[in-house]
């Protein structure tokens, strides 16, 4: 089995962080296949890469899914074994996953639930190769990742027999803010990760997490460069202490954004 990671040239530096954290938190992970996206279409290159696989299963990650703690390797192994023993399971999210109903199944372990009336979402998940190709068939190959989610969800509903989506039983995660599943705390999922990009922009609220691991976001402009310099010299820590003592925000974020807009990097 392979991990497939589609990526664009514009997010190459973010992918570098994602790959390093993948090695750090899951050193025994399956081999990776990067899928270069040279233009805006997502589905066409993705379908071609999935079609070239020899294995019936693959793990799909997006290029900004940065692992934030050790994976639950035992659960991932069990999910792979469950899909191998039950060829009617088409998708196994390694996450909490939305569903209208979560039902136990007589042929599955008690902690694995059958999800009914779920959408198709590109969270970290195990996919059956033929299921992905079936969904992709007749969808415009120029579709973006989000366009694929929408079209595949519509295509899923009338399929007979109904495709089976399963996931581990776990409580709904804490809501942190944001649209859809991006707003949930993903740090306790079987494959825990942070979304480093949100709506095409760097998710700067994850910057302290990256600093803890020796990484920084790629600089968008002079503001980011100065912010990274302030962090590396310890000035940021001093500013935070002063903010706490005076109970007055320093306005650093606003100045950082202003400098990025005035002197952006291209």
- Looking at the structure, do residues 10 and 70 belong to the same domain, yes or no? yes
What mean pLDDT value characterizes the chain?
86
Examine the pLDDT at 232 and tell me if it is beyond 70.
Answer: no
On the question of pLDDT at 235 being above 80, the answer is no
- pLDDT greater than 90 at residue 243: no
Residue 102 belongs to domain with CATH number: 3.90.550
- Are 140 and 253 in a shared domain? no
Q: What percent of the chain has pLDDT over 90?
A: 58
Provide the pLDDT for residue 254: 72
Say which range, 21-25, 58-62, 146-150, 182-186, has the weakest mean pLDDT: 182-186
Q: Does residue 204 belong to any structural domain of this protein?
A: no
Lowest mean pLDDT among 196-200, 244-248, 255-259: 244-248
Give pLDDT tens digits for 158-209: 887 788 999 999 988 877 766 566 678 888 899 999 999 887 788 888 888 9
Q: What is the per-residue pLDDT for 5?
A: 96
% of the chain residues with pLDDT over 70? 82
Q: Smallest Cα–Cα separation from 188: which of 66, 62, 69? A: 69
Q: Based on the structure, what is the number of domains in the chain?
A: 2
178 and 236 together in one domain:
no
- The whole-number average pLDDT for the span 127-138 is 96
Return the biggest CA–CA distance within the chain.
Answer: 64
Tell me, yes or no, whether 189 and 223 share the same domain.
Answer: no
Q: What pLDDT score does 219 carry?
A: 73
pLDDT tens, position by position, 87-121 = 999 999 999 999 999 999 888 999 999 999 999 99
Structural domain contains residue 208: no
Q: Do 11 and 142 share a structural domain?
A: yes
For every residue of the chain, DSSP letters joined together read -EEEEEEEGGGHHHHHHHHHHHHHH-TTPPPEEEEEE-SS--HHHHHHHHHT--SSEEEE--TTEEE-S---HHHHHHHHHHHHH-TTEEEEESS----SEEEE-TTS-TTEEEEES-----SSEEEEHHHHHHHHTTS-TT--HHHHHHHHHHHHTT-SSPPEEEEE--PPPPB-SSSGGGGB--TTSSS-EEESEETTEE-GGGHHHHHHTT--PPP-BHHHHHHHHHHHHTHHHHHHHHHHHHT----HHHHHHHHHHHSB--
The rounded distance, in Å, linking the Cα atoms of 156 and 163 is 7
Which structural domain, as residue segments, surrounds residue 228?
219-262
Same domain, 190 and 102: yes
| 251 shares a domain with 152 | no
- From 126, 135, 46, select the one nearest 84 (Cα to Cα): 126
179 and 223 co-located in one domain: no
Mean pLDDT along residues 252-262: 69
């Amino acid at each position: 089995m392979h991990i497939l990671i589609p990526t664009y040239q514009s997010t190459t530096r973010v992918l570098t962080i994602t790959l390093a954290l993948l090695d750090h938190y899951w050193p025994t992970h399956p081999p990776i296949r990067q899928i270069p996206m040279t233009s805006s279409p997502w589905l066409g290159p993705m379908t071609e890469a999935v079609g070239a696989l020899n294995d019936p299963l693959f793990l799909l990650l997006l290029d900004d899914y940065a692992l934030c703690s050790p994976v639950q390797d035992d659960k991932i192994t069990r999910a792979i074994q469950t899909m191998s023993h039950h060829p009617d399971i088409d998708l196994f999210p390694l996450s909490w996953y939305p569903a209208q109903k979560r039902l136990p199944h007589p042929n599955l372990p008690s902690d694995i639930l059958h999800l009914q009336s779920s959408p198709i979402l590109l969270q970290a998940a195990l996919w059956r190769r033929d299921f992905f190709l079936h969904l992709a068939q007749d969808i415009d190959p120029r579709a973006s990742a989000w366009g694929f989610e929408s079209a595949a969800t519509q295509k899923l509903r009338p399929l007979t027999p109904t495709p089976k989506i399963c996931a581990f039983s776990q409580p709904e995660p804490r809501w942190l803010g944001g649209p859809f599943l991006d707003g949930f705390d993903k740090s306790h999922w079987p494959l825990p990760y942070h979304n480093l990009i949100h709506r095409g922009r760097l998710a700067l609220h994850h910057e302290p997490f990256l600093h803890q691991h020796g990484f920084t976001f790629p600089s968008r402009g002079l503001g980011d460069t100065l912010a990274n310099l302030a962090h590396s010299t310890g000035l940021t820590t001093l500013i935070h202490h002063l903010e706490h003592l005076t109970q007055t925000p320093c306005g650093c974020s606003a100045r950082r954004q202003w400098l990025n807009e005035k002197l952006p990097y291209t």
